[in-house]
Every structure is written in C-alpha cells, then in structure tokens.
Amino acid sequence: GDPRVLRQRKRPREFSSKVEIANIPFGNQATKELSIPTVAHGYNYRKGAVDEFDRLIAQNAGLRKVRSGGHQALEYRLLHTVLINCYLLAFNSNVPKPRAVSFRSQTDFRDQLISALLAE
C-alpha cells in the first residue's frame, strides 16, 4: 500500500506557519522518530542533488555560452546535463579497481571522454 520509513525529525521552529499542527507529534521533544512516506523521504534525501548539479555546472564552464536563440540555449543545457550525469555515473559506479578509465576531476573525465570519442 503506502510504504513508509522511520526517520529522525526535528520539531519545526516557532515561526513556522503551521507550528501548532506540526508540533503535536513532538510534544516537548526537540526531535522524534516519525514514520514518513518513502516518496517524501526520497525527495528530501535527494533534493541536494539540484544544488550539486548547479555547482558542477559552475565548476566546469568550459563551453562557451550561446545567445543566438532559445533552442540553442536548451541544447547547451541538455549537453551540460548529459556530461554531468555521465561524470556522476562514472564517479559513483561500483566497478572494481583497477578501472580501465580513471579520472581525478570532472575536467579530467571530460578530457578523457572527448579523446575517446575523437579516437573512434
């Protein structure tokens, strides 16, 4: 039915708009283990990924910005998204060491990717 997980939660701050309702399960405790929907837990656990994605884009702004039209800006953003996703997949993969490809940074990863694509 509705899968749930137990997670340690903090009581909302006093200036929260729904503080009276939200504080009911906490009583006088500052934190409490609450049952929350798995979907909400997944969202809360991964929402920092958006900030991480923005940081990775800012970290490697090697490609020039295109201001010719909306479609080109969209293509540029999609290219960045694909490159960052490839980097994150390679970085977080469980491939046993020694790996055929190793890299120290996102820039190093992109350099190796471009070299491999041009070699084909």
Statement to judge: residues 30 and 71 lie in one domain: no
Q: What is the pLDDT of residue 84?
A: 86
- Interval 41-93: pLDDT, tens: 777 776 666 667 677 777 766 555 555 667 777 888 888 888 888 888 888 77
Mean per-residue pLDDT, 108-120? 87
In this structure, are 38 and 80 located in the same domain? Answer: no
Decide if 97 is inside a domain: yes
Please count the structural domains in the chain.
Answer: 2
Question: Quick check: 38 and 5 in contact, CB under 8 A?
Answer: yes
Tell me what the mean pLDDT of segment 8-27 comes to: 77
User: Does the residue 61 lie in any domain?
Assistant: no
Do residue 71 and residue 114 come from a single domain? yes
- The model carries a pTM of 0.45
Domain-embedded: residue 62: no
pLDDT of 120 reads 66
Residue 60 placed within a domain: no
* pLDDT value for 60: 65
- Quick check: is 22 in a domain? yes
pLDDT of residue 68: 62
Average pLDDT over residues 2-26: 78
* Owning domain of residue 75: 67-119
Residue 64: the pLDDT is 54
Residue 110 included in any domain: yes
CA distance 5 to 119: 48
Of the two residues 38 and 42, the one the predictor is more confident about is 38
Same domain, 37 and 74: no
Residue 68, sorted as left (phi over 0), alpha (psi -120 to 50) or beta, turns out to be alpha
